[in-house]
Amino acid sequence: MEQNEQATRLWGGRFSSGPSPEMTALSLSVHFDWRLAKYDLQGSRAHARVLANAGLLDDDELDKMLAALDELEKDVESGSFQGTEADEDVHTALERGLIERLGTLGGKLRAGRSRNDQVATDLRLYLRDNVRTIVAALIELQKSLLAKAEEYRDVVAPGMTHLQHAQPILFSHQLLAHVHAFARDVDRLRDWDRRAAVSPLGAGALAGSSLALDPVAVAQDLGFDRPADNSIDAVSDRDYVAEFLFAAALIGVHLSRIGEEVVLWTTTEFGWVTLHDSWATGSSIMPQKKNPDIGELARGKSGRFIGNLMSLLTTLKALPLAYDRDLQEDKECTFDSVEQLQMLLPAVSGMIATMKVNADNVSRGAGAGHALATDIAEWLVRQGVPFREAHEVSGAAVRECDERGCELYDLSAADLAAVDARLTPDVLDVLTVDGALASRSTHGGTAPSAVLTQIENIKSALAEQSAWLAPSG
């Protein structure tokens, strides 16, 4: 057994015995870093080609090497070849698989590279690949919100601050506010990709290689923009992981916010939204229940995304250069955030796409809670009254309504004039929900005309986001 383990390990020549069982258990990562197998094989093909260009593999050896790597990848995909506990990590397992197929020729692939630059390359490839699936899911979520906004474009709603009625808005305007948050998430990931498109392969353990390898060619082969400029930084940098985890945490926060709103909107007290049966759950004891579980899980998982970010930042703090085994801890939090987003985003998108908006319930309170008070103040400003005074006058009108138990739009021209002589009958023109909406027609406002412009701009932005995902050439 010890002899087999020695043959499997990528190190051990200077050791007289194998690691203790406790050491082996602590070092083991193949059970989670097996996700990198596809990318490790991709890097191995590129490395084989530069070894051949450097004269370290002849043409026949290169052909056999590439064929064996292709065969190994098929076996990995089918599950007929898997890593084992004896392999320690994905790199060791795949070298074992290559040697099983090629014999001693398989051992030549290790020349000029280390697990340090291998894993840094694999993780970048993994993230750049999976970020594109996350961006695609974010685009679909934006499309779901946009479609719902168009379907209910003219539905009026009470806009809220502090969860108190503030000013009338279009419900579509609120849905589109979430689109802009997710659009920023896409922009952030695209910007992240520009910095992540750097190849560490060729850095070796930390100092580069004395072999005549070509990091530029490897970078181009693997779809990176350029090779790393400093071999120490190449193997120790995990900024790209931390930055991704921050982007993932912020996506989680945005999902949590819309999840919370859906939870509120589906309550009996709000009654704004009804979820489709296939995107809700029931109760094991209360037959009437229809629970917004997706919204609740979106809230709950935000803590998980934030925790993954904090975990990595804490690990990275005060690590000396270059590579340290602490960096083994960068993967599980990364894999978790990637996989949770890939599961959560389509669920939230489906929930939004299929929910029914109960327009009458949404619109019922649009002008309630003295939501037109700002319109009185701004009307006075247009008459030349300083806003400080206009605010006081409008507040006095609100106080009058509180004493009477009515809304601002219930006051007559005489009632308003009694509050302040500057409130002439013309002020009644702004004491309607439709009037309040129409007046907010500046860029980004909630007026129907402004929302229509916003919708067209979002469609253009979505087309540009989708174009980024399209393969080049």
Which positions are catalytic? 162, 283
Q: Count of CB atoms within 10 A of residue 25's CB?
A: 10
Q: Residue 342, Cβ neighbours under 10 Å: how many?
A: 14
Whether the Cβ atoms of residue 308 and residue 336 lie closer than 8 Å to each other: yes
Residues 6 or more apart whose CB falls under 8 angstroms from that of 197 comprise: 128, 223, 224, 225, 226
3 state SS for 10-77? CCCCCCCCCCCHHHHHHHCCHHHHHHHHHHHHHHHHHHHHHHHHCCCCCHHHHHHHHHHHHHHHHHHH
Of 34, 120, 44, whose CA–CA distance to 84 is shortest? Answer: 34
User: Does an H or E element contain 294, and which?
Assistant: helix 293-316
Burial status of residue 426 (CB atoms within 10 A of its CB: 0-12, 13-18, 19 or more): exposed
Within 13 Å of residue 383, how many CA atoms lie on the same side as its CB?
16
| Residue 274 β-bridge partners | 356
Strand partners, 338: none
8 A C-beta contact, residue 372 and residue 430: yes
Amino acid identity at 404: R
Per-residue b or e along 435-456, where b marks 16 or more CB atoms closer than 10 Å to that residue's CB: ebbbbbeeeebbbbebbeebbe
Q: What residue has token string 């809230």?
A: 299
Phi/psi at 159 (5° precision): -75, 140
Q: What are phi and psi of 169, to 5 degrees?
A: -140, 170
Closest CA to 339 of 308, 374, 295: 308
d(CA 458, CA 468): 16
